[in-house]
Amino acid sequence: MERDEARRRFAAARVARLGTVTPQGRPHLVPVTFAVLDIPEPDGSIAFAVDAKPKTSRSLQRLRNLAEHPAATLLADVYDDDWSRLWWVRADGTARIVDHGPDFDRALDELSAKYPQYQAQRPAGPAVLVAVDRWRGWAAEEG
Amino acid sequence: MERDEARRRFAAARVARLGTVTPQGRPHLVPVTFAVLDIPEPDGSIAFAVDAKPKTSRSLQRLRNLAEHPAATLLADVYDDDWSRLWWVRADGTARIVDHGPDFDRALDELSAKYPQYQAQRPAGPAVLVAVDRWRGWAAEEG
């Protein structure tokens, strides 16, 4: 799948799964709402936020992981029992945690533009910006 | 979420996302079809297979990762624009790659029972069995 098509499908998805590595070197996965920021870097950035839910140890694990190992991967996929409709897109990059400033404000603006829930209650943050260095995509229809 | 409920929801899902760690220590994610094997260990095992698609370097990355770092995590989740319907379940465990023998046959039997596509064309394998040591689940409805 071409990079632009991969990025387009990913940006339109409503949920992605964030993969990180724990300080102990284990894989960790959690679903995230996200927005793709259309910034002038070649591959752009993906933003997600820690929302207003109670910050249990579980919800902060992703931040502890990224503080130690900033490599992040995000996957959007569609499953259908008709396997000719399957596709997925993966974005690999490097994460940066931000809790104030223009990048933080921009991330929250884009998230609020995508999800009405965030308009009603703006995430407290912090936010994470993943600078993407590779988009990979696969679609069954492409063979 | 109780462990049995987490396991039940996970087993009924049609797709999960597999998180592994690359030899270089980066997170890696790919969607997988899978079956939960009801074996007499406390937490059971999850099986998935490399199917009959051409084995490009991409489709084997997961096996290279697991050969080096057998820690695996699998996530099943439901997204809905009504966020009161969100839930996810994550299974953390240790992977073992099998390409013949009773465990391999059993994995393929269970996968074929779940997915008609595998009845029409049995996966060539290998298969991966993840011995689960932790089920974690979250549902918005539980608060």
d(CA A96, CA A85): 34
Q: Which of A26, A68, A130 to mutate to test the interface with B (most CBs of B within 10 A)?
A: A26
Q: Give the three-state DSSP class for B122.
A: coil
Q: What is the pLDDT of residues B3-29, one digit of tens each?
A: 999 999 999 999 999 999 999 999 999
Per-residue pLDDT of chain A (143 residues; tens, 9 = 90+): 999 999 999 999 999 999 999 999 999 999 999 999 976 665 679 999 986 555 555 458 899 999 999 999 999 999 999 999 999 999 999 999 999 999 999 999 999 999 999 999 998 889 999 999 999 999 998 86
Number of CB pairs, chain A paired with chain B, less than 8 A apart: 88
Burial of B64 (0-12, 13-18, 19+ CB in 10 A): middle
**Is A79 an 8 Å CB contact of chain B?**
yes
Indicate the DSSP class of residue B121. Answer: S
Task: Name the residue of chain A whose CA is nearest to B77's CA.
Answer: A31
Cis preceding linkage at A126, omega within 30 = yes
**Is A40 an 8 Å CB contact of chain B?**
no
Question: How distant is the Cα of A96 from the closest Cα of chain B, in angstroms?
Answer: 15
Burial of A33 (0-12, 13-18, 19+ CB in 10 A): buried
CB proximity under 8 Å: A 103-122 to B: 117
Q: What is the pLDDT of residues B21-59, one digit of tens each?
A: 999 999 999 999 999 997 666 567 999 998 655 555 545
Predicted ipTM of the assembly: 0.92
